[in-house]
Amino acid sequence: MNLSSIRSRLLLVGAVVLLLILPTMVGAQPAGPAADLTSLQAVSARPITVTWDGRTGVPAFVAGQFPSGATARALAADPLSVTRRFLALHRTAFGMTDPLREWTLIRTDVDRLGMTHVRLQQTFQGVPVLGAELLVHFDPTGQWITAINGDYLPGLALETTKPRIEAGTALRIARAALPGSVIQRRPRLVVADGRLEPELAGTRLVWLIELYEHSVPARNMYLIDAQTGQILKSLNQLTTGRNRLTYTAKNTIILPGTLWLTEAGPVPGQSPDADGLNAHQFAGDTYDYFLATHGRDSFDDHGATLIATVHYSQNFQNAFWNGTQMVYGDGFASANDVVAHELTHAVTERTANLTYEFQSGALNESFSDIFGAMVDDEDWLMGEDLPIGAVRSLSNPALFNDPEHLDQYKNTCQDNGGVHTNSGIPNKAAYLLSEAIGRPAASQIFYRSLTYYLTSTSEFNDARAGAIQAAQDLFGADSDEAKETTAAFAAVGLDGVHTPPAPSCDCAASVTLNDRSLFDDAGFAIRTAITLYRTRDQLLSRTPAGQRYVDLYYAHTGQISRLLLKDPTLRRQAAELLRAVVPGLTALLDGAGDQVVVTPGMVRQLEALLDGLTAADQEGKLAKTINAERSQLKLEGLAGLTFEEAWQTLNRSQR
């Protein structure tokens, strides 16, 4: 039995399976729909600044002093109508079609300065547009608008907004891809567009579904095509990295577990250990910090109970927020900055709700690191008290091979698009600002930016603009704090001009499954996709060896997709391999992997696909990876092994 052979075979099966800040209009607008800022310039009482959105070609952030045409009383009585009228008056500035019909109200917040922040949702023919949100900010009098920011998608077009696939059917498809899951958010019909959802092509009507499965653990968001039932996207939103209830899972995966501590202290008859006491104490410390420093009453600002579970699973070296509570593996509640980090994910979810991928996901991680460092204000390390030691540094991200400047940005498909690595860039900006003006002032700026100036799809440019605006709100437009905020972001390469590189993370398996000349049975293609998602979430993600292959898949999936799209022969070979191995993978997932054998035909199909990918990639990274693996193996040695034997041997070989 050749261990290298087994490792390589499963690796490659997994690969298939699985602009400016514009002071008074200096600079160039990116190509895109016309956005005429003349009307805004004409009415602003001070010079306007603009940050453009390279994805949409319209402004992402406009700051100035614009008459709202309303009073504080009128704004409080009907914020949606006041805001819609302003947008209709200046619709050409944002490339909008019909602001009176396109926007609905999400919520209105009044901050401690007396300013009103109106958060809007874009709709298309009455259906919400995923990620398209707008914030309009009014001064305390209600008579002036100081900023407008967010994402608007011009030019949307769909043949119909009537779904062919019912919500219940979409839910069954999603739950089949994550068996044993519970519903976190019931299906919602939304419009999704490739400009904000880069995995999608064009504009699609989709069902948005959120499921949680505790044993993986996974908190998956699914986009199901409302016309075909195809799974367009599966994103694990599990964010890893003073009414309190603290539990122990006793090294099981049952949540919340056995109650150890309440606000009154230990539960009678229970003896919480250091992990339980730490989780309880540090959650209280974090609650006290947000209340005393920012006036925030728990993560929802309405006194929500802080629920935590320690001793989750076995050999689980991590902590996460699952949407309702904090969860810690053994020893991972020992660091107060980690506890604060996880609780800040909860704050983020209830405010900006930053999508957990690419730059918005990196901002999500960064804000958790920033406030972790504000609670543990003795250093700039994250998690130095963990059993594994520190995991990141805000002052020196390079210490952990994380970028600290935009020039070092990692355009990757791994780690949800580099959320734990590219967070080093805004982390460094936060450190520099704190050193310049002190942690207390910096924390006020970042809290205000997070809670009032960001939306779910905000990127680094938006965070910069939001922080500068927050500093101006708090300390004045010409204050040292505002100037230092601008300087801190400039020092890490963020000057408002940056356009993020377009991620190339198309799913290689989807490219094959979407070819109807190869899979004319749409139902079979959906069932195959379900098996592949199950393989990722229920098999590969549960062991170190499997996670390695997930990482390798995301490292190469973009190139594999490009090669498959170019070459119909490669797509045919991939389709043949999928048809051959999916029954074995399904059996393995269902506990019958010892009943299905790797056949000589499967090996020949794998060899043919590997040869084709290597030749097409020439001397690229994918070809080098394939060659490095194949140099140590004899593929014919796989024939005769059951899928269960191959999987178990693989995991033993990686220990």
| Look-up of token digits 């039932």 | 229
Q: Which two tokens stand for residue 150?
A: 């967010």
**Within this chain, do residues 568 and 585 fall inside the same structural domain, yes or no?**
yes
Instruction: Give the CATH number, domain containing residue 266.
Output: 3.10.170.10
Q: Which two tokens stand for residue 112?
A: 């401690």
Instruction: Please tell me the predicted confidence (pLDDT) of residue 493.
Output: 97
Instruction: Please tell me the predicted confidence (pLDDT) of residue 242.
Output: 63
| 264 against 145, higher pLDDT | 145
Nearest to 286 by CA among 364, 361, 365, 368: 368
Residue 32 has pLDDT above 70, yes or no: no
DSSP type of residue 272: -
Instruction: Give the CATH number, domain containing residue 481.
Output: 1.10.390.10
- Cα first-last separation, the chain: 17
Please list the active-site residues: 342, 420
Percent of the chain with pLDDT over 70: 93
Q: How many whole angstroms separate alpha carbon 569 and alpha carbon 552?
A: 23
Task: Let me know: does 392 contact 383? Beta carbons within 8 Å.
Answer: yes
**Within this chain, do residues 612 and 549 fall inside the same structural domain, yes or no?**
yes
Question: In this predicted structure, which of 241-245, 546-550, 622-626 has the lowest mean pLDDT?
Answer: 241-245
Tell whether the torsion through CA atoms of 299, 287, 150 and 236 is positive or negative: negative
Residue 8 has pLDDT above 70, yes or no: no
Structural domain contains residue 188: yes
pLDDT tier at 35, thresholds 50, 70, 90: low
Residue that terminates a domain, selected from 124, 150, 176: 150
State the burial class of residue 439 (Cβ atoms within 10 Å of its Cβ: 0-12, 13-18, 19+): middle
**pLDDT 10s digits, 356-388:** 999 999 999 999 999 999 999 999 999 998 888
**Within this chain, do residues 245 and 136 fall inside the same structural domain, yes or no?**
no
Structural domain contains residue 182: yes
Structural domain contains residue 550: yes
Quick check: bond before 256 cis, omega within 30?
A: yes
Rounded to an integer, the average pLDDT of 388-410 is 95
**Within this chain, do residues 633 and 516 fall inside the same structural domain, yes or no?**
yes
Instruction: Please tell me the predicted confidence (pLDDT) of residue 445.
Output: 99
Domain count, the chain: 5
Residue that terminates a domain, selected from 305, 330, 350: 350
**Within this chain, do residues 468 and 490 fall inside the same structural domain, yes or no?**
yes
**pLDDT 10s digits, 380-391:** 999 998 888 999
pLDDT tier at 6, thresholds 50, 70, 90: very low
Structural domain contains residue 534: yes
Q: How many whole angstroms separate alpha carbon 65 and alpha carbon 47?
A: 8
Structural domain contains residue 135: yes
Structural domain contains residue 561: yes
Give the other-Cβ count within 10 Å of 522's Cβ: 14
Structural domain contains residue 205: yes
**Within this chain, do residues 366 and 498 fall inside the same structural domain, yes or no?**
yes
**pLDDT 10s digits, 162-177:** 999 999 999 999 999 9
Residue that terminates a domain, selected from 486, 502, 518: 502
**Within this chain, do residues 203 and 127 fall inside the same structural domain, yes or no?**
no
pLDDT tier at 241, thresholds 50, 70, 90: low
**Within this chain, do residues 530 and 588 fall inside the same structural domain, yes or no?**
yes
**Within this chain, do residues 269 and 339 fall inside the same structural domain, yes or no?**
yes
Task: Let me know: does 470 contact 488? Beta carbons within 8 Å.
Answer: no
**Within this chain, do residues 286 and 255 fall inside the same structural domain, yes or no?**
yes
Q: How many whole angstroms separate alpha carbon 578 and alpha carbon 265?
A: 55
Cα distances (angstroms) measured from residue 527 to each of 177, 183, 432, 531: 9, 20, 50, 6
Q: Which run of H or E residues covers position 192?
A: strand 182-193
Q: How many whole angstroms separate alpha carbon 415 and alpha carbon 413?
A: 7
Residue ranges making up the domain that contains 608: 3-18+507-653
pTM, rounded to two decimals: 0.87
DSSP string covering 597-654, please?
A: B--HHHHHHHHHHHHHHHHHHTTSHHHHHHHHHHTT--GGGGTT-BHHHHHHHHHHHT
Structural domain contains residue 316: yes
Instruction: Please tell me the predicted confidence (pLDDT) of residue 483.
Output: 98
